[in-house]
C-alpha cells in the first residue's frame, strides 16, 4: 500500500500552500503598514466624519486670509484651514515653509486634538501652477527647461 500522493493531489497541495503563503504575506504587509498609513482629510471631511483623536492624519486645504497668528513663544503658529465648506483650526510649532502664506494651499501631517484643533507635526506649503523658483526667474524658458530636465 503506497502513501505517496498522486500528481493531481500534489498540485492541489502546492496551490493551497501558495495561497497560504500569499495570504500570510499580505497580512504581514498590512500589519506593518497599519502604523504608517496616514489618511488625507479636507476640512469638510473632518467636520462630517472626524478621525479619532490622536490618530495620525493628513489635512489639506487653503489657509484662510487673516488667520495666521504667531503665539507668544515665537515658534508656534495658529491658523485656520478651510475648503470652502468647513474650517479647522490648526496649531503648528516649528519653522514654517517659505511658501506658507495666507490664501495658499497647505498640507499638514498631525493629529486631531480632543478640543477639535489639528496639531500639526509638519507643514507642506503648496504653490499654484504659475510658481517659479527664484533661481529660475531670470532665465529664459529654454534655459529653465534645460535646468529642470537636468535635475529630473
Under 8 Å between Cβ of 81 and 43: yes
What confidence category does residue 56 fall into, taking pLDDT thresholds of 50, 70 and 90? confident
Cα 33 to Cα 27: distance, rounded to the nearest angstrom: 10
Under 8 Å between Cβ of 30 and 89: no
* The CATH number fitting domain 39-125, selected from 2.40.10.10, 1.10.1370.30, 2.40.50.140, 3.40.50.300: 2.40.50.140
In this predicted model, which residue has the larger pLDDT, 78 or 136? 78
The string of pLDDT tens digits covering residues 80-134 is: 999 889 999 999 999 988 888 898 889 999 999 999 899 999 999 877 666 666 6
Under 8 Å between Cβ of 63 and 106: yes
9 labelled as ligand-binding?
Answer: no
127 labelled as ligand-binding?
Answer: yes
Strand 87-93 versus strand 39-41 pairing type = unpaired
Amino acid at each position: 500500500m503506497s502513501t505517496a500522493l498522486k500528481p493531481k493531489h500534489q498540485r492541489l497541495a502546492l496551490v493551497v500552500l501558495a495561497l497560504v503563503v500569499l495570504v500570510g504575506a499580505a497580512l504581514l504587509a498590512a500589519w506593518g503598514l497599519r502604523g504608517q498609513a496616514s489618511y488625507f482629510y479636507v476640512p469638510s471631511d473632518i467636520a462630517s466624519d472626524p478621525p479619532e483623536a490622536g490618530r495620525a492624519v493628513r489635512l489639506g486645504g487653503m489657509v484662510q486670509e487673516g488667520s495666521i497668528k504667531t503665539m507668544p513663544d515665537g515658534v508656534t503658529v495658529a491658523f485656520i484651514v478651510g475648503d470652502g465648506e468647513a474650517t479647522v483650526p490648526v496649531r503648528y510649532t516649528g519653522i514654517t515653509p517659505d511658501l506658507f502664506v495666507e490664501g495658499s494651499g497647505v498640507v499638514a501631517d498631525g493629529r486631531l486634538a480632543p478640543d477639535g484643533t489639528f496639531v500639526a507635526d509638519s507643514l507642506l506649503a503648496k504653490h499654484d501652477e504659475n510658481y517659479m523658483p527664484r533661481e529660475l526667474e531670470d532665465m529664459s524658458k529654454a534655459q529653465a527647461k534645460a535646468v529642470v530636465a537636468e535635475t529630473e
